[in-house]
């Protein structure tokens, strides 16, 4: 069994957790339970683990940053950079997690063609 962070977040860790909440807000997920994060990360962490991060009760590990960054379609460096930007300016990019509605190109007459997946690959998980 691997080690988990039980450190109380301060400074930098609090900025990382605040950016996580910023991304959740942008996705309409103000849920403090951690259920949505457990789902979109394919169970990489338990619901209560994510909940502690969202509530700023636990400091993120570098592995947590990596999992979240991959889920949100960015590098771990971008996640940290965005967290710092949010802390210093009050604004930062917030990716939308999940496939947009335009992923399916359906002809006006459903008999003309079958739905096709978007040509552009999507990096964030749904």
The three-point CA angle 26-36-103 to 5° equals 65
- 79, part of any domain: yes
Confidence of residue 95 (pLDDT cuts 50, 70, 90): confident
User: Measured between alpha carbons, how far is 73 from 68 in angstroms, rounded to an integer?
Assistant: 9
Domain count, the chain: 1
Q: What integer best gives the mean pLDDT of the chain?
A: 80
Contact 67, 44 (CB under 8 A): yes
Name the residue among 75, 20, 22 with its Cα closest to residue 50. 20
Confidence of residue 100 (pLDDT cuts 50, 70, 90): very low
The mean-pLDDT minimum among 16-30, 73-87, 109-123 falls in 109-123
- 126, part of any domain: no
Which DSSP letter does residue 101 get?
G
- 1, part of any domain: no
- Its domain, for residue 32, covers 12-89
- 121, part of any domain: no
User: Measured between alpha carbons, how far is 17 from 52 in angstroms, rounded to an integer?
Assistant: 10
Which DSSP letter does residue 59 get?
P
What CATH number is attached to the domain comprising 76? 1.10.260
Q: How many CB atoms lie within 10 A of CB 123?
A: 11
- 67, part of any domain: yes
User: Measured between alpha carbons, how far is 83 from 30 in angstroms, rounded to an integer?
Assistant: 18
- 34, part of any domain: yes
Name the residue among 29, 49, 15 with its Cα closest to residue 97. 29
- 113, part of any domain: no
- 100, part of any domain: no
């Amino acid at each position: 069994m691997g080690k988990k962070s039980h450190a109380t977040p301060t400074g930098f860790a609090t900025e990382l957790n605040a950016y996580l909440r910023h991304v959740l807000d942008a996705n309409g997920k103000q849920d403090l339970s951690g259920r949505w994060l457990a789902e979109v990360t394919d169970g990489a962490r338990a619901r209560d683990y994510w909940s502690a991060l969202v509530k700023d009760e636990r400091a993120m590990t570098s592995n947590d940053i990596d999992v979240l960054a991959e889920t949100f379609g960015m590098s771990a460096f971008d996640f940290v950079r965005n967290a710092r930007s949010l802390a210093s300016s009050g604004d930062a990019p917030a990716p939308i997690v999940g496939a947009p509605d335009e992923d399916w190109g359906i002809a006006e007459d459903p008999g003309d063609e079958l739905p096709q997946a978007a040509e552009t690959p999507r990096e964030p998980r749904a």
